[in-house]
């Protein structure tokens, strides 16, 4: 069987011929809104309802509207009905719904809450639609044939306010998309009036921020909002509103971001609870009813609701971003515009509408004036007009004879010939021609308006003021400054609890929660290992680990795995990537880096370093030159405040001194100041706290000034277990 070889085609030409027409059709005729704020599907639906008399009449079944709309929109009935649903008051998707609805139309904030079938629901146009169709019959916009040429439809609606900014609109075309947020109607009108008066106006002074139908809170960043206003692109953050019911120990969420749904929020919370990341929530329920949205979270006892909500804002769609893309069709071409540019384009469009309407009114009034001027001529001799009509033998000659008898044109003669016999009296004719002067004045005013753009702008401003007064409503989305919002970091999501850290001689570190330690306090260590330090701290503290290589390692305690006392713990050589002969010799836990680290050296010097010297703005995990390497280290102390310490020399000299006499340094590797003077090659071999040396007379060894050589150890203070110089590193002070 022979196989036909396919004819090779150039991909670019094929795309241009087959794909580009489809792409342009989607962009121009389906997905991107135009300057009146509507996509074609919206406009066709609303115009159909307008022609059905639903602006002032009673509601009709949605199925009737859907069926009638198919004369303009060839798409399926369900596609048309879904468009209708979003425009209704019942769906809560728009700040100013265009359709007054009765029945179940679902909710914008719920994916599972399905709308009823069109045969069960009823609709009519909302009052605000008067502003959409105002003067539509006065040639304000162009009309085109529908898809089969049986009727005409408007290409745009002559909206008397910038509807493009007032109601949210989203569309996905081919190769581009559009996502417009909504703004408060009164603010939009004020901003437009301000722009009319001064094109250099700062829009943000009048148009505070977007206003979404779902309410919630907008986290205000002037930089982000200004970027959106200037470029038409950017994003802003929205978060839910909630209240804490103290009596029932639950949180009620009653407004959520426009960009999410009840189901998405509940699913995210359930997943967090199941994974163990949220232990404060006992139950989560959707209690949405006829009174509105409500998600209820039952809490465990002693849960901080504000801290919990901060977690949820970070981990769930309860805080979400609205990405703006103000892509609008302008004269058939998609353009991304800033707010001021949108207002300018709408203003140009509205000025053109008013000019067309004015021209229409001028033509109508001039036609009427022309007829009345003809009527004025027959007033001179009504009997003559009657005589001409009566003496004309053929009906088709009446018009010609009247034209000849009164020197009028055919249109005027036709008008006179059609006057009823009862109206051929002087009173009727005088009353009619008395309108001539008023008509001339009205025509002159209209012509003045048509040629004076400043007056047209004044008219638009008056209309906007009336609309704001008539349809304006308070903001639904509350504005909160980002400065008042606590930044939710990773640490906010970490569970905090008390624990103990144990450091062993063989470089093992145990992190044992107190709950676990009470249940099983017996430590497991290697045969020749022993604990050299233990400290009390909590899970969110910072841990500083000083090594014998003059280095300090920093780590968040929550980054260390919990273990039981019966476990060996973390091997620090691996955890911190230490050198083979490097050991950790001291632990220090802190929340705020207050206090000092005291380093005692064999040469009798001590360095008192401000703990802030170890705080870093970046998350550096390793700091070199943590302390001086000029002399061997004897001991490290953490000082919250100054204390008295006891220094021992190799020639049995003892000195009690106060650390207040040692000046604090900020340089980490400072060699410090001399505290214990050396004599005959002696060196400092130990430093202890007063609690570790129960001397009989402390004053004997005390000194007010340093450096000092100290006093010989008395016989009665020598030889005790407490003063033995073979000591372990004690717990931090």
Mean pLDDT (the chain) is 89
pTM: 0.76
- Find the largest Cα–Cα distance for the chain: 159
pLDDT band at 257 (very low <50, low <70, confident <90, very high): very high
Task: State the catalytic residues.
Answer: 120
pLDDT band at 372 (very low <50, low <70, confident <90, very high): confident
Q: What is the pLDDT of residues 622-633, one digit of tens each?
A: 899 999 999 999
- Specify whether the CB–CB gap between 386 and 424 falls below 8 A: yes
pLDDT band at 43 (very low <50, low <70, confident <90, very high): very high
Q: What is the pLDDT of residues 498-549, one digit of tens each?
A: 999 999 999 999 999 988 888 888 888 888 889 999 999 998 899 999 999 9
pLDDT band at 4 (very low <50, low <70, confident <90, very high): low
Any idea which residue has 């000019």 for tokens?
Answer: 355
pLDDT at 318: 95
- Is CATH 3.30.1360.40 the classification given to domain 241-317? yes
Phi, psi (deg, nearest 5) at residue 308: -65, -45
Of 188-202, 346-360, 493-507, 717-731, give the lowest mean pLDDT range.
Answer: 717-731
DSSP letter assigned to residue 198:
-
pLDDT at 98 over 70: yes
Phi, psi (deg, nearest 5) at residue 104: -90, 110
Looking at the chain, the domain(s) classified CATH 3.90.199.10 span 38-158
Average pLDDT over residues 716-732: 49
Of 10-14, 207-211, 728-732, give the lowest mean pLDDT range.
Answer: 728-732
pLDDT band at 490 (very low <50, low <70, confident <90, very high): low
- CA-CA distance, 702 to 694, in Å (whole number)? 14
Average pLDDT over residues 43-60: 94
pLDDT band at 421 (very low <50, low <70, confident <90, very high): confident
pLDDT at 728 over 60: no
pLDDT at 726 over 50: no
pLDDT at 485 over 50: yes
pLDDT at 725: 43
Of 209-218, 457-466, 524-533, give the lowest mean pLDDT range.
Answer: 524-533
pLDDT at 12 over 60: yes
**Residues paired with residue 556 on neighbouring β-strands, in sequence order:** 542
Dihedral angle sign, alpha carbons of residues 409, 415, 417, 422: negative
Given the candidates 3.40.50.720, 3.30.230.10, 3.40.50.2300, 1.10.268.10, the CATH classification of the domain at 347-471 is 1.10.268.10
Given the candidates 1.10.510.10, 3.90.230.10, 3.40.50.300, 2.120.10.90, the CATH classification of the domain at 490-717 is 2.120.10.90
Pick the residue with more confidence: 406 or 474? Answer: 474
Of 89-103, 155-169, 288-302, give the lowest mean pLDDT range.
Answer: 288-302
CB atoms within 10 A of CB 680: 6
- CA-CA distance, 213 to 256, in Å (whole number)? 10
Looking at the chain, the domain(s) classified CATH 3.30.1360.40 span 241-317
Give the count of alpha carbons within 13 A of 726, CB side only. 3
pLDDT band at 729 (very low <50, low <70, confident <90, very high): very low
Per DSSP bridges, beta strands 508-513 and 570-571 are antiparallel
Looking at the chain, the domain(s) classified CATH 1.10.268.10 span 347-471
DSSP letter assigned to residue 289:
B
pLDDT at 719: 61
pLDDT at 602: 92
**What residues contact 683, with CB distance under 8 A and at least 6 apart?**
602, 603, 604, 649, 650
Domain 38-158 is classified in which CATH homologous superfamily?
Topoisomerase II, domain 5 (3.90.199.10)
pLDDT band at 2 (very low <50, low <70, confident <90, very high): low
pLDDT band at 488 (very low <50, low <70, confident <90, very high): low
In the chain, % of residues over pLDDT 70: 96
Sheet holding 508-513, edge to edge: 531-538, 498-504, 508-513, 570-571
Of 45-49, 100-104, 385-389, give the lowest mean pLDDT range.
Answer: 385-389
Q: What is the pLDDT of residues 552-598, one digit of tens each?
A: 999 999 888 888 888 888 999 999 989 989 999 999 999 889 999 99
Rounded to 10 degrees, the C-alpha dihedral 68/74/78/81 comes to -50
pLDDT at 361: 95
**Residues paired with residue 538 on neighbouring β-strands, in sequence order:** 498
Q: Estimate to the nearest angstrom the gap between the alpha carbon of 46 and the chain centroid.
A: 31
- Specify whether the CB–CB gap between 587 and 501 falls below 8 A: yes
pLDDT band at 727 (very low <50, low <70, confident <90, very high): very low
């Amino acid at each position: 069987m022979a196989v036909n070889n396919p004819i090779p085609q150039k991909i670019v030409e094929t795309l241009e011929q087959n794909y580009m027409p489809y792409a342009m059709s989607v962009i121009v005729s389906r997905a991107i809104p135009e300057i009146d704020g509507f996509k074609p599907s919206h406009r066709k639906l609303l115009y159909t309802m307008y022609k059905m008399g639903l602006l002032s009449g009673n509601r009709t079944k949605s199925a009737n509207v859907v069926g009638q709309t198919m004369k303009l929109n060839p798409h399926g009935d369900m596609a048309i009905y879904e468009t209708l649903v979003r425009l209704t008051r019942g769906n809560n998707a728009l700040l100013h719904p265009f359709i007054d609805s009765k029945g179940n139309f679902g909710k914008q904030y719920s994916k599972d809450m399905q709308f009823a079938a069109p045969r069960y629901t009823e609709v009519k146009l909302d009052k605000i639609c008067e502003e959409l169709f105002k003067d539509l019959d006065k040639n304000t916009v162009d009309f085109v044939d529908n898809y089969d040429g049986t009727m005409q439809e408007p290409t745009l609606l002559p909206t008397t306010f910038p509807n493009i900014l007032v109601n949210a609109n989203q569309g996905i075309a081919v190769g581009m998309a559009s996502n417009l947020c909504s703004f408060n109607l009164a603010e939009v009108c004020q901003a437009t009036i301000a722009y009319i008066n001064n094109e250099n106006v700062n829009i943000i002074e009048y148009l505070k921020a977007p206003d979404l139908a779902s309410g919630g809170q907008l986290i205000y960043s002037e930089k982000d909002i200004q970027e959106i206003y200037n470029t038409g692109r950017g994003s802003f953050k929205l978060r839910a509103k909630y209240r804490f019911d103290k009596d029932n120990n639950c949180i009620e969420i009653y407004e959520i971001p426009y960009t999410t749904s009840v189901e998405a929020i509940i699913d995210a919370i359930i997943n967090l609870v199941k994974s163990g990341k949220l232990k404060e929530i006992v139950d989560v329920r959707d209690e949405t009813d006829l009174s509105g949205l409500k998600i209820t979270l039952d809490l465990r006892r002693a849960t901080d609701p504000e801290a919990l909500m901060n977690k949820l804002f970070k981990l769930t769609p309860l805080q979400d971003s609205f990405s703006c893309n103000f892509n609008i069709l302008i004269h058939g071409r998609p353009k991304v515009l800033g707010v001021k540019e949108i207002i300018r384009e709408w203003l140009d469009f509205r000025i053109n509408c008013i000019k067309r309407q004015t021209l229409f009114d001028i033509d109508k009034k001039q036609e009427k004036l022309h007829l009345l001027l003809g009527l004025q001529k027959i007033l001179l001799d009504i009997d003559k007009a009657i005589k001409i009509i009566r003496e004309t033998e053929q009906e088709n000659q009446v018009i010609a004879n009247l034209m000849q008898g009164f020197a009028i044109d055919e249109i005027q003669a036709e008008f006179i010939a059609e006057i009823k016999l009862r109206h051929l009296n002087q009173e009727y004719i005088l009353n009619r021609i008395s309108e001539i002067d008023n008509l001339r004045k009205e025509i002159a005013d209209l012509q003045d308006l048509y040629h004076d753009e400043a007056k047209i702008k004044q008219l638009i401003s008056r209309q906007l003021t009336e609309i704001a007064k008539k349809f304006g409503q308070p903001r639904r989305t509350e504005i909160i400054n980002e400065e008042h919002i606590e930044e939710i970091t990773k640490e906010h999501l970490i569970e905090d609890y008390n624990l103990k850290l144990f450091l062993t001689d063989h470089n093992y570190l145990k992190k044992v929660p107190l709950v676990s330690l009470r249940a099983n306090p017996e430590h497991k260590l290697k045969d020749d290992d022993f604990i050299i330090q233990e400290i009390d701290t909590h899970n969110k503290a910072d841990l500083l680990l000083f090594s014998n290589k003059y280095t300090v390692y920093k780590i968040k305690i929550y980054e260390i795995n919990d273990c039981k006392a019966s476990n060996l713990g973390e091997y620090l050589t691996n955890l911190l990537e230490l050198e083979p002969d490097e050991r950790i010799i001291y632990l220090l836990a802190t929340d705020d880096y207050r206090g000092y680290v005291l380093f005692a050296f064999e040469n009798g010097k001590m360095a008192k370093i401000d703990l802030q010297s170890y705080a870093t703005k970046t998350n550096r995990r390793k700091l070199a030159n943590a302390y001086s390497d000029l002399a061997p280290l004897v001991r490290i102390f953490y000082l919250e405040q100054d204390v008295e310490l006891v220094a021992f020399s190799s020639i049995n000299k003892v000195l009690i001194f106060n650390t207040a006499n040692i000046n604090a340094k900020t340089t980490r590797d400072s060699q410090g100041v001399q505290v214990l003077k050396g004599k005959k090659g002696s060196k400092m071999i130990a430093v202890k706290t007063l609690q570790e040396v129960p001397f009989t007379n402390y004053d004997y060894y005390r000194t007010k000034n340093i450096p000092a050589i100290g006093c010989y150890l008395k016989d009665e203070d020598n030889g005790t277990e407490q003063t033995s110089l073979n000591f372990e590193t004690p717990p931090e002070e």
